[in-house]
Amino acid sequence: MCTQSGAGSWTCVLCSGPAAAGICTGCEADLPRAAQPPVAHRIRGIDAVQIPYRYAYPLDVLVRAFKFHRDLAAGHALAMIFTSNVSNHLQSIDRLVPVPLARGRYLARSFNQAALLAHALGAVSGIPLAADGVRRIGGSEQQSRLSRAARRRNLADAFALVERVDGEHVAIVDDVVTTGATAAALARALRHGGAARVTLVALAVTDNRRGGP
Ligand SMILES: [Zn+2]
């Protein structure tokens, strides 16, 4: 897909009309908004939630195009609407922690969509990222790979912290929230690592807690 039509101008990834930032203002206004507060508000260990959108058409098309087909124009549009919606709600946050992918998924896809969204948010807000501060431990193989960091990490069901976050307000950054189980497990690891407060920041939440990308 070729969507950059000239110096600094883009065509909208949804309607192909002119757009300053990947998606035009009309299409952006029509995107499915999440109810406030979204269902994810009830996730264990999460103090606050910032999720602007529902995972529904046409947002789901863009997410899947980026996530599974590496459509960079879609990724750019998603990063723009994500940062413009949440960057004004991050006042007390000390650190951004993107949800890490399991190693197998990371290799298959070659990038982590949550990490890309977190990088975009960090660039806009100036809040530092802890992209390497937490690792996903899917099984015994991954766990053994992390053994060198054993002294410095805290284990909680699915994640290992390799860097403490004592007293910090940490924002977990994810692309699409479904059951909230991942965020809850990561929040637990962050609490073990000393986090004082945990906010979940995501692009979208599914309606029925199933059927994510
Ligand atoms: Zn449009």
For the stretch 71-121, pLDDT in tens is: 889 999 999 999 999 998 898 999 999 988 765 555 555 568 899 999 999
Whole-number Å distance, alpha carbon 111 to ligand 1 midpoint, is 26
What does DSSP assign to residue 33? Answer: B
Cα 5 to ligand 1 centroid, rounded to whole Å: 14
Q: To the nearest whole percent, how much of the chain has pLDDT over 70?
A: 76
Q: How far is the CA of 70 from the centre of ligand 1 (A)?
A: 20
Tell me, in angstroms, the distance from the centre of ligand 1 to residue 4's CA: 14
Q: Where are the domains of the chain?
A: 1-30, 31-205
The whole-model pTM stands at 0.82
The dihedral region occupied by 72, where left means phi > 0, alpha psi between -120 and 50, and beta the remainder, is alpha
Distance 57 CA to ligand 1 centre (A): 14
- Tell me the average pLDDT across 133-148: 54
Q: Which residues fall within 8 angstroms of residue 44, CB to CB, at 6 or more apart?
A: 180, 184, 187, 188
pLDDT of residue 153: 41
Residue 11 CA to ligand 1 center (angstroms) comes to 8
* The predicted structure's pLDDT at residue 128: 94
Tokens of 70: 């590496």
**Distance of CA 141 from the midpoint of ligand 1 (Å):** 46
Q: How far is the CA of 3 from the centre of ligand 1 (A)?
A: 12
Please name the fold of domain 31-205: Rossmann fold (3.40.50)
3-state DSSP helix/strand/coil percent for the chain, to nearest 5? 40, 20, 40
pLDDT > 50? residue 154: no
Mean pLDDT taken over the chain: 81
In which residue are the tokens 């609407």 written? Answer: 81
